[in-house]
Amino acid sequence: QVQLVESGGRLVQAGESLRLACAASGRAFSSYVMGWFRQAPGKEREFVASISWSVGRTRYAGFVKGRFTISRNNAKNTMYLQMNSLKPEDTAVYYCAADEGAGGTQVYGYDYWGQGTQVTVSS
C-alpha cells in the first residue's frame, strides 16, 4: 500500500510563487507514475501534471505548462510542484496521486490519493 501526504499550500497574492510537496511512504516507487490534480469550489477535479518515477518523463495540462514544473526526489520519496506566476483561477485544493501503471490525465487512472492542500491566490 501507498500513503501520500501533501504540504505547502497557503494564501498568496497573484504573481507570487509556491512549491507544493507530496511525501510518499509504503511500497517502492520504481515503477510508479505520480501526479497532481486540483479541485476548485464547485468544479470537477482536474489534471495538472504527472511524472514517471523511474524515467522522469513529465506531462502537463495545457493551461498550466510554462508556469508550473513537476519534479521528484527519489532519495526522499517526494514529488514537488513548483508553481510560478500564480493567478486567482489557480485557487483550489491540490491533491497528489500515484498509480502502479501508466497513470494518465484522468482521476480514474490513479489508485492512491492524498488528503489535499489548500492553495488560495488573492487578486
pLDDT tens-digit series, residues 17-54: 999 999 999 876 666 899 999 999 999 999 999 998 88
Q: What is the mean pLDDT of residues 67-85?
A: 94
Lowest mean pLDDT among 30-34, 60-64, 89-93, 101-105: 30-34
Write down the pLDDT at residue 112: 94
Distance between CA atoms of 63 and 81, rounded to whole angstroms?
15
What percent of the chain lies above the pLDDT cut of 70? 97
